[in-house]
């Protein structure tokens, strides 16, 4: 049985959930696109945390060992912090502020319970903004993963 906490599974899942989010957006399933786009960010951050800490499995990371369970495992802000990224770094890497704005968009929408438990299709404009923010952030996080891989000497 595959361990879904393996960093390779998380990274692969992040790519598939991004594709799923775009498919749902194109099918006019606005809240579903937001929900799965948020998962793309979550999974990519979990993979990055593993790389930063040189762990193969998210269960071995400081976040998990420190007691994160249940809903707290979906907390994008703690995952971003665990990946060593903050607003200052994003601003330094993207002085236009696009990354920080994308981050605010994702965190604001991802925290809404209505995405998980609502029965509405959602809003096209919000979904478009979110999916575009996910694309930008996901590319940024995957770029950080590539950088970490390049810095490894194991």
Counting residues of the chain whose pLDDT is more than 90, the rounded percentage is 63
As given in the structure block, the two tokens for residue 132 are 């575009």
Q: Render pLDDT for 50-92 as a digit per residue (tens, 0 to 9).
A: 999 999 999 999 998 988 777 778 888 999 999 988 888 888 9
As given in the structure block, the two tokens for residue 151 are 């810095």
* CATH number of the domain located at residue range(s) 7-151 in this protein: 1.20.120.330
What confidence category does residue 101 fall into, taking pLDDT thresholds of 50, 70 and 90? very high
What confidence category does residue 154 fall into, taking pLDDT thresholds of 50, 70 and 90? very low
Q: Render pLDDT for 109-133 as a digit per residue (tens, 0 to 9).
A: 887 777 777 788 889 999 999 999 9
74 near 41, Cβ under 8 Å?
Answer: no
């Amino acid at each position: 049985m595959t361990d879904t906490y393996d960093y390779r599974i998380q990274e692969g899942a992040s790519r598939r959930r991004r594709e799923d989010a775009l498919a749902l957006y194109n099918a006019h399933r606005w809240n579903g696109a937001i929900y799965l786009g948020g998962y793309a960010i979550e999974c990519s951050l979990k993979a990055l945390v593993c790389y930063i800490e040189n762990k193969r499995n998210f269960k071995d990371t400081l976040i998990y060992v420190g007691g994160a369970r249940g809903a707290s495992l979906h907390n994008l802000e703690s995952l971003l912090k665990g990946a060593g990224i903050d607003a200052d770094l994003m601003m330094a890497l993207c002085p236009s502020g696009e990354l920080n704005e994308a981050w605010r968009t994702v965190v604001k929408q991802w925290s809404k319970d209505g995405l998980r438990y609502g029965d509405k299709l959602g809003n096209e404009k919000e979904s478009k903004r979110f999916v575009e923010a996910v694309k930008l952030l996901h590319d940024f996080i995957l770029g950080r993963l590539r950088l970490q891989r390049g810095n490894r000497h194991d």
